[in-house]
Amino acid sequence: MMLQETAQGAIGVLLVLITMTGAIIVARKDLRAILFTYQLQSFFLASMAFTFYIFEKSDMMLFLAILTIVSKVLFIPYVIKRVQKKINIPRDLTFHYLSPTKAIFVTIILIFIVHVSLSATMRVLSPSRFIYLGEVLGVSLALMGMLVTFTRGKVMTKILGYLMMENGVLLFSFFVTEIPFIIEVLAMIDLLMIVLLASILALGMDIGVEEFQGRLHPFNRKKNGHNGGDNGNGQNGKGHDVRGNANQVSPAHATDKTKEVITR
Amino acid sequence: MMSFILYGVLNTLFIVLISPLFMSLIKKVKAYSQGRRGPPLLQSYYTLLKLLKKERVYSETSSSITRVTPYLSIAVMLIACLFVPVVFIPEHPVGMGNVILFLYLLALAKFFTALSGLDAGSTFGGMGSSREMSISAIVEPITIMAFAALAFTLGTTNLFDMFEVTSFATDPVLILAIVPLIIALITETSRIPVDNPETHLELTMVHEAMILEYSGSDLALIELSHAIKQTLLVAVVVNLLVPWGLSAEVSLIAIAVSMLLFFMKAAIFSVCIGIFESSIAKMRLFNLPNFFAIGFLFSILTIMLKVFK
């Protein structure tokens, strides 16, 4: 009985910490802070799986804890960190539909709706109110991740929102039923693939204006070189100036071109 | 009744005596983090003593509000000292320790300080009061929600009873309730990222702008009441977060241990505030609602989690 109370206390603390990290991800704009919070959230999930292993002696929970640590605490954040370094955007300041402040209020409403929706079925099925609490917070975390995914402008934050959704599903599965380990591994592989692909896409989409301008230069050179006609300065150049050097687009001209391309 | 009188004297004296030290401690930690030696730990006491000896100067346009506010402010804080036990938990009279009354006492001091800012007729004072009231209007509901969540979790609205029953080992939801309390503490004590207590720049100052017209012993009283307010709010947080050490027993050893443990806990908390302030910049005024919304979310979550249970 004492052991069960200790386990419930430990899992209760972890549940509260996971919910806190979810709320912080919804509210923060700093991409590094969001990533670190996601790492923490995953660590708390792994700790929860480990706690379940200690008190229930279920080997699957131990494997799940190790898998979560390796993939979600170490590997995925490492990949995202590398991409973040390349795209060089420290903060996500573009929001669709909701600002972070409004998103926090929507989060409160979401948790309340989940509680009301699940109370009719899960409360009856769940053996204890504690398990019901875990289920409500699991679904709420998944919805909070969804909220981040569609309210944020930058792909990196969208990816992190998606990852939070997966964390929510994992949390829900801890309390509702034990998902077979092989399905969890497959879900993890899917997740890794999605993170890798989305990170590659993010490299192109979340790039800063300066980098975009830099990438535009070779495009212009190539265009001028191949067309052999008007190089944009009103001169009939052939891609080379009188000294025989390749045509360089002046910074002012490049800026105009950049603006034009962005407008298009 | 005798134990309450003893408590009143000891608790108030202890809080008044140690409060300036925590202000200096935060400054010292911030100085160290910036690679400076910083002022000595007793600097706040020296400054208060110096100010108490100095002459008071009033603006020509100021009324009795300016003259009354420092005394009212310190009186309110001394009464508030009776609400937050740090030396021992006595048998308390009805109403004493009520969290709503405690919040109203803090609000009363703030209201008069804001009035005095307007009263001096200076542009800075008016600007500071306006900003302080704008921030207060947003943060008051969060503070009330934070204490409501606490009351909901611990099943009482009395701070004496809260300190007796608290322990997040038995109720982890308490961790959630502490977050909005810390946000309220930062805001109420005008600390970074809401306000910068060390700045006197027109663009950034909030609390300092209100008290800019004060001088001499009036300024000393205002500064002391600000320090006491900070210690009281720190005491609420640390006694809930780390509830061990506060005794209900009235004996010399128990009281000494309670005082020593509280001093250590509050000192560690002050060091944490110093480190936090060194690692974060002041927020822009229009970003503050986002910061407060986190506190509001955690308060609501605390209440919801208790309802689910």
Q: Which residue of B has its CA nearest to A101?
A: B290
Q: Which residue of B has its CA nearest to A28?
A: B290
Residue type at position A154: K
Residue at a domain's end among A185, A205, A225: A205
DSSP class per residue in chain B: -HHHHHHHHHHHHHHHHHHHHHHHHHHHHHHHHTT---S-TTHHHHHHHHHHHSPP---TT--HHHHHHHHHHHHHHHHHHTTS-SS------TTTTBHHHHHHHHHHHHHHHHHHHHHT--HHHHHHHHHHHHHHHHHHHHHHHHHHHHHHHHT-SBHHHHHHH--TTT-THHHHHHHHHHHHHHHHTT-TTT--TT---TTT-SHHHHTTT--HHHHHHHHHHHHHHHHHHHHHHHHHHS-TT--SS-SHHHHHHHHHHHHHHHHHHHHHHHHHHHHSPPPPGGGHHHHHHHHHHHHHHHHHHHHH-
Q: Do A16 and B309 touch (CB under 8 A)?
A: no
Residue type at position B153: T
Q: Do B176 and A129 touch (CB under 8 A)?
A: no
Q: A interface toward B at CB cutoff 8 Å?
A: 9, 12-13, 15-17, 19-20, 23-24, 27, 99-101, 104-105, 107-108, 111-112, 115, 129-130, 132-133, 136
Q: Do A108 and B297 touch (CB under 8 A)?
A: yes
Task: Specify whether A194 is located in the same domain as A217.
Answer: no
Q: Do A12 and B300 touch (CB under 8 A)?
A: no
Phi first, then psi, for residue B302 (nearest 5°) are -60, -45
Interval A90-108 mean pLDDT: 84
Closest CA to A200 of A90, A91, A82, A92: A82
Phi first, then psi, for residue B57 (nearest 5°) are -120, 135
Q: Do A133 and B305 touch (CB under 8 A)?
A: yes
Q: Show residues of chain A in contact with B289, CB under 8 Å.
A: 101
SS3 A25: helix
> What would the two tokens of residue A221 be?
């050179």
Task: Specify whether A154 is located in the same domain as A242.
Answer: no
Residue at a domain's end among A205, A226, A255: A205
Task: Specify whether A201 is located in the same domain as A216.
Answer: no
Task: Specify whether A182 is located in the same domain as A217.
Answer: no
Interval A102-120 mean pLDDT: 88
Task: Specify whether A89 is located in the same domain as A15.
Answer: yes
pLDDT at position A252: 46
Euclidean distance between CA atoms B307 and A17, whole angstroms = 18
Q: Do A23 and B294 touch (CB under 8 A)?
A: yes
Closest CA to B231 of B88, B106, B138: B106
The number of angstroms, rounded, from the C-alpha of A221 to the middle of its chain's C-alpha atoms is: 36
Give me the domain span that covers residue A172.
Answer: 2-205
Residue at a domain's end among A175, A205, A235: A205
Phi first, then psi, for residue B283 (nearest 5°) are -80, 155
pLDDT tens for chain B, residues 1 to 309? 788 899 999 999 999 999 999 999 999 999 999 999 999 999 999 999 999 999 999 988 899 999 999 999 999 999 999 999 999 888 877 778 899 999 999 999 999 999 999 998 888 899 999 999 999 998 988 899 889 888 888 888 999 988 887 765 557 778 888 889 999 999 999 898 898 888 777 777 888 899 999 999 999 999 999 999 999 999 999 988 888 888 878 889 999 999 999 999 999 999 999 999 998 888 888 888 888 888 888 888 888 877 766
Q: Do A20 and B296 touch (CB under 8 A)?
A: no
Domains contained in chain A, number:
2
pLDDT at position B155: 86
CA distance B171 to chain A (A): 7
Task: Specify whether A182 is located in the same domain as A230.
Answer: no
ipTM over 0.85? The verdict is no
Q: Show residues of chain A in contact with B301, CB under 8 Å.
A: 19, 23, 108, 111
> What would the two tokens of residue B268 be?
């560690």
pLDDT at position A210: 64
Task: Specify whether A91 is located in the same domain as A117.
Answer: yes
Q: Of the candidates B169, B289, B304, which has its C-beta nearest A111's C-beta?
A: B304
Q: Do A24 and B289 touch (CB under 8 A)?
A: no
Q: Which residue of A has its CA nearest to B167?
A: A9
Closest CA to B236 of B167, B293, B185, B303: B185
Q: Show residues of chain B in contact with A101, CB under 8 Å.
A: 289-290, 293
Q: Do A20 and B298 touch (CB under 8 A)?
A: yes
Task: Specify whether A80 is located in the same domain as A104.
Answer: yes
Q: Of the candidates B173, B179, B290, which has its C-beta nearest A101's C-beta?
A: B290
Task: Specify whether A184 is located in the same domain as A238.
Answer: no
Task: Specify whether A83 is located in the same domain as A33.
Answer: yes
Q: Do B296 and A104 touch (CB under 8 A)?
A: yes
Q: Of the candidates A15, A20, A27, which has its C-beta nearest B293's C-beta?
A: A27
Residue type at position A109: I
> What would the two tokens of residue A218 be?
């070779």
CB pairs under 8 A between A and B: 64
Q: Do A104 and B289 touch (CB under 8 A)?
A: no
Task: Specify whether A214 is located in the same domain as A179.
Answer: no
Euclidean distance between CA atoms A89 and B181, whole angstroms = 33
Task: Specify whether A239 is located in the same domain as A149.
Answer: no
